[in-house]
Structure 1
Amino acid sequence: MMHSHKYIATVLLFFAIVTVSNAQLGFSHELGFITGPVAFQSDYGERYDFNTNKGNVGIGVGIVHYINFAYRADCDCYSADTYWNDHFKIRSEIAYHETTLNHLGPESEKLSLGGLQLRSMEGKAKVFEAGAQIEWYPLSIRDFQSGQPKIAPYLGFGARYVNYRPEATSTLGPLGNPITTFPTFIDRIDTSQGSAIAITGDIGFRYKVGPLSDLLISSKWHYYVDSNYVDGLSPNNVNNRANDWIWWFNVGYIFYL
């Protein structure tokens, strides 16, 4: 818990530095929203199973804010002609995603007590995230803002604070006993609210739809580095080699302020 508090303080300090720097230097702002399907790679189902991957998909929504270094709104002019100003942006984001989780795959389809226990169990991952990332645009941001080219690809990397509150239920009755619960989950279910840190990777592009607006399409990966209970489960199993993570495909709309 102490480590989580240190991470939270680091994220908040980063936001403070960004805000102060922006206020002093007069960089321009962008604001938008994103939404799209979230594929939750959790301890529900079986690793690399196609039915698990396509079945445990939820939805996410978010609000994004950018600091644009290429253009200065305070003087209605472009900033200094440097590579940083013309190829980087800082993005802050708050997001919420929710996914219903089921045990899918061959093990859950068996006509056995274990198969019945898996089929009867259902979970839900409810996750709030807030953080920031740096984005690199290989093409000129200034040229894109002027309308040529129409597409601006980018790569992003960042970190965020995560607050989660999972759920786990079974139609067989309360979980935690050998009658209702698959053996690897005995004493390995925790649905209490918790916090974690996620590292993020992002690849996407913007498409210019107007002088002051862009369409955003993005493929994002979030890995929860210091918790394996974001989904409420951490099975006693040799296959439990990685923490929970998500892949989020999202579409958004960005406004220049």
Structure 2
Amino acid sequence: MKYRYLEAVEERISKLKETETEALEQAVSYVIRTLRQDGMIHIFGSGHSHLLAEEAFYRAGGLVSVRPILIEELMMHKGALRSSELERRPGYAEQFMKDQPIKPGDTVIVASTSGRNPVPVDVANISRDKGAAVIAITSTAYAGSQPSRHPSGDYLKDAADCTLDNHSPVGDAVLTHPKLATSYSPTSTAIGAMLLHTVLSEAIDRLADEGFPLPILRSGNVDHADAHNKALIDAYKDRNELLK
């Protein structure tokens, strides 16, 4: 049986190994610096990209120092069309970013496959202004093929300190069929999660090699994990309002 979607994902994973090594190294270095300083790793995305922010938050085997920036108006349960409209609105990010507890030395990961809308670009710019390192997860294929909607003409990749390319085609959908007029089956979430966990796990590996203590959560569905997790949450809940 030929599963074309699995082949499309495997092809992109191979591309990550071939083309993203330098960017991955840079991203890992930012996360290591943040963890050494007991800083926070903030993750933002709107629309489907917000799934990556939730993917790494409060995760078994994940870092308690990951904090998602979850803006409900930019999530589809508040209205899919409204979410898309707001992501395109210049200046909208300033309304919620001014109060984000982002500090110098933190790392901010911003996910946007097109990278062309004002909100993710502004989130990246504001985060850098606050002193954080910014990692973009995006598709560089959009730059040059679709005009930026940001007033500056910038894409997300232009506002980030380093860019991880998810190798999604323009439009994201990777499969076609001779009997269908529209391509289908996006890979941006699957590959975005792969990039995200690659960066975080590599940072953990390298610090663990040094014997550096790391705030890693255990699964709450494994006996005796609750006390371990409670101690970590108590240490970080003042810096992450979602740990309650």
Q: TM-score, normalised by structure 1?
A: 0.22
Q: TM-score, normalised by structure 2?
A: 0.22
Q: Which structure has the larger Rg over C-alpha atoms?
A: 1
Higher helix share: 2
Higher strand share: 1
